[in-house]
Amino acid sequence: MVKVWFLGTGTSQGIPVIGSSHPVCHSNNPKDKRLRVSVWLQWDEYSYVIDCGPDFRQQMLTCNCQKLDGILFTHEHADHTAGLDDIRPFFFRQGDIPVYGHKRVLQILKKRFDYIFEKENKYPGAPSVETIEVIKDKPFVLGGKTIVPILAMHGNIEIFGYRVGDSFAYLTDVKTIAADEKHKLKGVKVLVVSALREEPHHTHFNLEEALDFIKEIKPETAYLTHISHLMGFHDQVQEKLPDNVFLAFDNLQITI
């Protein structure tokens, strides 16, 4: 059994967008207010997050996460990584926090957060991490569950989605994905995939592309995430979706 808490379901600017006059940004529906995209996964006594963006501290306080066994990064963009410094409370209690990602992503994080990765003359208040490179065709095990990396393209950069055991898969910021990577998703029960807006975008699935992808993978249930204000009002978009497809929203919790 895997518990999934959607910590954030918004795109890089979040919703509301600073200074925006768009109607969705002024909605009173809490489902239309979206922090930057991330999920918290729990099973047995294990606790992992996928991505930690600039809203990470707020998200951890909201979900009352008490332990962090590691972070799985999809890619290096700021809306997925900028909260890394906020692992400090976990580090102070637990020691080095494992972080998993593409070799390129780990290198960029080391440059961006050099004080976290520093081994000599380290500032005593800084957290530390243990880095684990994720490789395309090398599944790994976390807490007794096999994690299968799913390679996709976000425009012209390689990113990783993750399949967790047999039941759950998470892919965000996807634009294209090869057939052999899609095959890794065969039989998954719950699929989370990004859908930025209805209009086409050069580095992200739009709604039509995401729905076509879901039809191809055939999960029992699918959730859309990484949603822009340009997608429209949550309730209105949900009415147009297939019966097994749902717009995720912040603090949605599901058990698989």
- Name the E strands within 2-139: 3-8, 38-43, 46-50, 70-72, 97-101, 129-133
What pLDDT, on a 0 to 100 scale, did the predictor assign at position 124?
84
Kindly give the parts of the chain with pLDDT less than 50.
none
What pLDDT, on a 0 to 100 scale, did the predictor assign at position 69?
98
Sign (positive/negative) of CA torsion 226, 229, 230, 236? Answer: positive
31's CB contacts (< 8 A; 6+ apart) are 234, 235, 247, 249, 250
What pLDDT, on a 0 to 100 scale, did the predictor assign at position 113?
96
Planar angle of CA 118, 133, 95, nearest 5 degrees: 45
Contact 95, 67 (CB under 8 A): no
What pLDDT, on a 0 to 100 scale, did the predictor assign at position 121?
78
What pLDDT, on a 0 to 100 scale, did the predictor assign at position 120?
80
- Taking Cα atoms as reference points, which of 218, 209, 215 lies closest to residue 190? 218
